[in-house]
Amino acid sequence: MIEVGAIIVVAIVILLVVLVGGSPGPGATSAPSTFSQAAGEARAVAASVSGGPWNLSSAYGVSVTVPFVLNNTLLPLGCNVTSGNFGVDSYPSGSGAYSDGRATVWILSFVSTGVGGGMLWVQVVNGAATELGVTNNSGRCATGGVSGLGPVIDSSVAMEKILATPNGTRFAQTFSKANATYSIGYGPNPTWIISLNGCGRYVAGPGTLLASVWALNGTIQNAPREPATIAC
């Protein structure tokens, strides 16, 4: 079992961003980015949004081999939306490359250190960041004085650590392409949770790999376990 610890916001993102495979998407997703690249683009957008200063608090990345849908309307569930246009967005498939820790779509959340608090949600696609909206300090979006995520290793480093393990190496030798999801959120011990599936699924089963890496120092928290069968 992957132990997430006190990651609060990332649990929101994992549970409430719904992925649906097989839906048509507009154009080509040609510029996947690592977490650090996406965070840089998102911070530039956050700097222009009122209600801050905004500190990065979580990120969720998706890279899949089939067209998919992100249901962003569920992000603010249980929160009060103060601005923005949360919606359902369709995307084409990505290349399926995963060894460099890149994702075609990132959703990042920021917490406000200003009066009243609140959260800002930013989406990065093809290297371009756009504001999804702002939710106030309520419900699942209550920040409780959280200051933000702080310096952590990039998703590329986390992926490198995972693929260097025996089961990670075996997975990479078997699957040149895979669906990948990445998640990280604030807490005393922020953790990268990375899921890979070489069989075109979003759920556990044959050809899956799930592992976590401490984001402060890059050590493996939970090494990937060998699937019951690695073949699809």
Nearest to 123 by CA among 213, 203, 41: 41
Give the chain's domain count. 1
Cβ atoms of residues 198 and 177 within 8 Å: yes
Residue 3 lies in a domain: no
How confident is the model at residue 227, as a pLDDT? 64
Residue 151 lies in a domain: yes
Residue 45 lies in a domain: yes
Q: Note the pLDDT tens digit of each residue in 86-138.
A: 888 888 777 888 999 999 999 999 998 766 678 899 999 988 999 999 988 77
pLDDT, the chain, mean:
82
Residue 4 lies in a domain: no
Residue 1 lies in a domain: no
Residue 228 lies in a domain: no
pTM: 0.88
Region of residue 181 (phi > 0: left; psi between -120 and 50: alpha; otherwise: beta): beta
Residue 212 lies in a domain: yes
Two tokens at 101? 């820790």
> Which residues sit opposite 8 in a β-bridge?
none
User: What are phi and psi for residue 14, nearest 5 degrees?
Assistant: -65, -45
Range of the domain at 202: 9-222
Residue 181 lies in a domain: yes
Question: Taking the C-alpha atoms of 134, 140, 142 and 148 in order, what is their torsion angle to the nearest 10 degrees?
Answer: -80
